[in-house]
Amino acid sequence: MLDRTIPFYNTIMKCSDYSLRHAELPDGFSIVSYQRGYEKEWAKLEYAIGDFDSLEAAEQYFAETYLQNPKLFSNILFLLNKEQEIVGSCIAWQDKRGENSVSSLHWLIVQEQYQRMGLGRALGTAVMNIYAEHGKLPVYIHKQPWSWKAILLYASLGFRLQKTDTFSHYENEYGKSMDELEKIVSKEQYELLLRSSEDSTP
């Protein structure tokens, strides 16, 4: 489970250079796009880790945010296990950056019992392939220090921490975020994040 006692600071990452890759999955697992009713399983996943106060709130958020344009359903990916149960999800989305639209990777999640199997990497890769195929780079992500494992995963996919850049309504809190990450990750991991951080103008 996420350690939500770690202070929350807006942590912005961006990937500007990405090439198509194979989303490698263990035998029996598959990645499919949204089908009617999947929002209920998505709500269960997000409610279980405390991102919403109720299943109803999670399902309502998904419906209001993602189900208004059926043309975008192919951008909403779900991870299925061998029993064809939904155990993860990730969404290729478009967000705001000032007056313009930018790509924003949303809600990568894998059920806890299926973590450490490379499934998060496969989901992230599959979504990044959507952006690459449609020429929708760069891609932004909003995280926080308690999601440090995800931050390291995204860094391995080509995302870089942003010192100044941001998107949507987020205030970039790079300095505070790095102070927290230094307490959590290994020295080698911290130095890698520090070296790869970008100082670009919003």
Q: Where are the domains of the chain?
A: 11-196
With tokens 């919003």, the residue in question is: 202
Per-residue pLDDT of the chain (202 residues; tens, 9 = 90+): 678 889 999 999 999 999 999 999 999 999 999 999 999 999 999 999 989 999 999 999 999 999 999 999 999 999 999 999 999 999 999 998 878 899 999 999 999 999 999 999 999 999 999 999 999 999 999 999 999 999 999 999 999 999 999 999 999 999 999 999 999 999 999 999 999 999 976 5
pLDDT at 181: 97
pLDDT by residue (tens digit) across 187-202?
A: 999 999 999 999 976 5
Output the pLDDT for position 97.
Answer: 86
Residue 119: the pLDDT is 97
pTM of the model: 0.92
User: Which DSSP string corresponds to 51-100?
Assistant: SSSSHHHHHHHHHHHHSS-GGGGGGEEEEE-TTS-EEEEEEEEEEEETTE
Q: What is the per-residue pLDDT for 179? A: 97
Instruction: For residues 98 and 145, give the distance between their C-alpha atoms in angstroms, rounded to a whole number.
Output: 25
Rounded CA-CA distance 28/81 in Å is: 6
Residue for token pair 């987020």: 170
Q: Which CATH class is domain 11-196?
A: alpha beta
Distance CA(129)–CA(24), nearest Å, equals 12
Q: What pLDDT, on a 0 to 100 scale, did the predictor assign at position 201?
A: 60
Q: What pLDDT score was predicted for residue 99?
A: 80
Q: Mind listing the pLDDT tens digit for each residue in 100-132?
A: 899 999 999 999 999 999 999 999 999 999 999
Give the residue among 143, 138, 155 at the shortest CA–CA distance from 97.
Answer: 138
DSSP state of 113: G
**Token code pair at residue 119:** 């499934």
* Confidence (pLDDT) at 103: 96
Q: CA torsion 59→129→197→167, rounded to 10°? A: -50
